[in-house]
């Protein structure tokens, strides 16, 4: 699908994106992308990371994440997603950004849209795919961190977990957990799920079949002894687990090992550098180390379940640009059908 060079740029606001997303099954899109990735039909370069400290001393960062999903109609684009930890105190979202789509022939950008909702939705969708690969029922679920990602996760997980009776919520800002519970209580109770705000992370984790860390920590705190022996941790915020959980896990699954091991900041990348973790096709390091079992996409292609043996399963979804770009393309198509969005002259 080639467009006229220098045609207008299509722009979608957050409200436009939300309207378009309501016509899409993001979990199906995420699963398709994971399968395409496992078949080698995607290009996912390392993310560009720019970090700085703001004038008031907070950590800020800009991530640039390009990606291509191949096939007869390739989808190409990039997500730029920025965040400052000072935003929470300002009462504004921590993260904000734009997702761009590029014409596969001319490489010219043709669409630009609010990135935050797409990013949150695709992240929650990958978590939903991971949880859907569990064979054991999920009656208790825990969210550590009750911000934007928790909102997106609740929206996609609640309708998919038939056996769920309790969602345990912990946030280091008690007001955030209370506000989250207040906002979602009626919808949760309507499907028979009790929302429980806990005073500690440990209380939320203990007894939960699935634990989803959605915080902004940079140092681990979740201990192995807190987890049920059959628990699945979907380690979305990437730094909540202590290394002991990964080392003792029965199964470690990622979305993309290259992204995980290249990153020097988050837990699994650090463990790789320390020789504590190695990839599925890599030689064992010269010291006792944990092997990463594979990717979510490989499990989907093999139609294999997650956690078919006893022990904790760690799913570490680094977050792939191709998920954003593929979902953004579906949003663009839906928005075009709905006749929403604006055209910006070039």
Tell me the C-alpha distance between 223 and 206, whole Å.
Answer: 10
| Residue ranges in 89-128 that form contacts with ligand NAD under rule CB under 6 A | 94-95, 119, 123
Among 20, 34, 154, 238, binds ligand NAD (CB under 6 A): 238
The backbone region for 47, taken as left when phi is positive above 0, alpha when psi lies in -120 to 50, beta otherwise, is: beta
Give the one residue of 9, 43, 181, 217 binding ligand NAD; rule: CB under 6 A.
217
CB atoms within 10 A of CB 152: 23
Cβ(235)–Cβ(221) below 8 Å: no
Query: CA torsion, points 3, 62, 44, 326, in degrees to nearest 10?
Result: -50
Closest separation in Å from C-beta 73 to ligand NAD: 25
- Cα 108 to Cα 346: distance, rounded to the nearest angstrom: 11
When asked if residue 261 is in the footprint of ligand NAD (CB under 6 A), the reply is no
Angle at 150 between CA 11 and CA 145, to 5 degrees: 125
Give min distance, CB of 120 to ligand NAD, in A: 6
Q: Does 26 bind ligand NAD (CB under 6 A)?
A: no
Q: Are strands 109-114 and 95-102 parallel, antiparallel or unpaired?
A: antiparallel
Alpha helices in 164-265, H assignment, sequence order: 174-190, 201-205, 243-248, 257-262
Q: Which residue lies nearer to ligand NAD by CB, 7 or 216?
A: 216
Among 149, 208, 251, 313, which residue interacts with ligand NAD (rule: CB under 6 A)? 149
144 lies in the site for ligand NAD, by CB under 6 A: yes
**204 near ligand NAD, rule: CB under 6 A:** no
Closer to ligand NAD by CB, 10 or 126: give it: 126
Measured at CB, which residue is nearest to ligand NAD? 147
Query: Can residue 29 be called a binding residue for ligand NAD (CB under 6 A)?
Result: no
SS3 37: helix
Which window, 49-57, 299-307, 315-323, 329-337, contacts ligand NAD (CB under 6 A)?
A: 315-323
- The yes or no reply on residue 145 touching ligand NAD (CB under 6 A) is yes
Kindly list the residues in this chain that would bind ligand NAD in the complex (CB under 6 A): 88, 94-95, 119, 123, 144-150, 170-173, 176, 201, 214-217, 236-238, 317-319
């Amino acid at each position: 699908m080639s467009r006229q060079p220098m045609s207008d740029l299509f722009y979608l606001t957050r409200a436009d994106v939300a309207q378009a997303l309501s016509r899409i099954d993001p979990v199906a899109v995420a699963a398709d992308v994971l399968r395409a990735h496992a078949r080698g039909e995607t290009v996912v370069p390392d993310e560009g990371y720019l970090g700085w400290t703001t004038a008031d001393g907070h950590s800020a960062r800009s991530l640039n994440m390009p990606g291509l999903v191949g096939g007869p109609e390739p989808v190409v684009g990039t997500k730029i997603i920025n965040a400052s930890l000072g935003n929470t105190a300002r009462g504004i979202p921590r993260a904000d950004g734009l997702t761009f789509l590029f014409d596969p022939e001319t490489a010219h950008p043709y669409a630009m849209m609010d990135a935050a909702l797409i990013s949150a939705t695709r992240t929650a969708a990958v978590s939903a795919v991971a949880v859907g690969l569990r064979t054991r029922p999920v009656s208790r679920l825990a969210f550590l961190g009750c911000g934007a990602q928790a909102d997106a996760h609740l929206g996609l997980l609640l309708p998919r977990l038939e056996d769920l009776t309790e969602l345990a919520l912990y946030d280091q800002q008690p007001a955030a957990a209370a506000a989250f519970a207040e906002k979602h209580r009626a919808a949760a109770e309507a499907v028979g799920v009790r929302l429980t705000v806990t005073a500690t992370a440990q209380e939320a984790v203990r007894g939960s079949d699935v634990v989803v860390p959605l915080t902004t920590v940079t140092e681990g705190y979740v201990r192995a002894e807190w987890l049920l022996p059959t628990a699945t941790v979907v380690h979305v915020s990437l730094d909540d687990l202590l290394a002991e959980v990964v080392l003792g896990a029965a199964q470690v699954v990622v979305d993309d090992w290259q992204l995980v091991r290249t990153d020097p900041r988050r837990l699994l990348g650090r463990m790789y550098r320390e020789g504590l973790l190695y990839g599925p096709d890599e030689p064992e390091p010269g010291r006792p180390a944990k092997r990463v079992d594979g990717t979510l996409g490989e499990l989907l292609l093999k139609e294999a379940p997650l956690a078919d043996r006893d022990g904790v399963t760690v799913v570490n979804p680094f977050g792939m640009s191709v998920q954003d770009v593929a979902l953004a393309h579906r949003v663009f198509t839906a928005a075009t059908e709905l006749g929403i969005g604006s055209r910006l002259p070039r």
